[in-house]
Amino acid sequence: MVFQHLRKFDKWRIIPWDVVHIFWVDERCVPPDHSESNYRLACELILKDLPIPEENIHRIHGESDPLTEANRYAEELIRHLNLNIGQLPSLDWIFLGVGTDGHIASIFPKSILDDKFTKLCYVATHPKTGQKWITLNLSTINMAKRISVFIAGQEKATIVSKIMNPTSREKHFPVKMIRLVTGTILWALDEAAASKISV
């Protein structure tokens, strides 16, 4: 839905796309033409309509060995952003959705304290389906200059109410751990997702 609206946004036409680089927060370990590929979805909904050089689109190779690809993608980020050893990237703008369990990217509840989060990119396993994902870690997300969180649909209303409730004792939701170091966060909810928020 977000991609479809952005494609119609007139001001996007004046962006100098030749200097824009696009990275993925996470990706399923599937080929790029797979029906569940985030890359395929982005290409079909928005990237095909943008005058952006192909070499500026840095996809995660979901068809490759997951661990090998997680390391390769981390190296690509480090090389492209000219990072020093141990330095985290500061991406300009990250778009996030939120799962009904409160996950962001492929950072799932109850795995949030795992030591693999010290890696820039790592292989995650979906707790219900067992599907492998490659994802950026929470520290990298929190270094972004700007984050936009988009939540839509009635099925997200319960998790939204828990996220937005200041008295909630449930601290394990990854989405509640978005704490930007210096950036700004925009929350965008539709009416259905916001229907259980108490003011």
136-181 pLDDT per residue, tens:
999 999 999 999 999 999 999 999 998 887 666 666 789 988 999 9
Query: Which pLDDT score, from 0 to 100, does residue 8 have?
Result: 78
**Cβ–Cβ < 8 Å for 43, 7:** no
| Burial readout 71-104 (b: 16 or more C-beta within 10 A, e: otherwise) | bbbbebbbeeeeeeeeebbebeebebebbeebbb
If pLDDT is split at 50, 70 and 90, which confidence band does 115 have?
very low
For residue 20, pLDDT over 60 is answered with: yes
Parse the chain into domains and list their residue ranges.
Answer: 2-189
- Return the CATH architecture of domain 2-189: 3-Layer(aba) Sandwich (3.40)
Q: Are strands 184-189 and 146-151 parallel, antiparallel or unpaired?
A: parallel
How much is the pTM? Answer: 0.90
Query: Which pLDDT score, from 0 to 100, does residue 7 have?
Result: 74
When comparing pLDDT for 117 and 148, which is higher?
148
**Cβ–Cβ < 8 Å for 80, 20:** no
Query: Which pLDDT score, from 0 to 100, does residue 192 have?
Result: 96
d(CA 101, CA 172): 10
40-99, pLDDT tens digit by residue?
A: 999 999 898 889 999 999 999 999 999 999 999 999 999 999 998 888 899 999 999 999
**Range from 16-30, 39-53, 99-113 that averages highest in pLDDT:** 16-30
Query: Which pLDDT score, from 0 to 100, does residue 169 have?
Result: 62
For residue 199, pLDDT over 70 is answered with: no
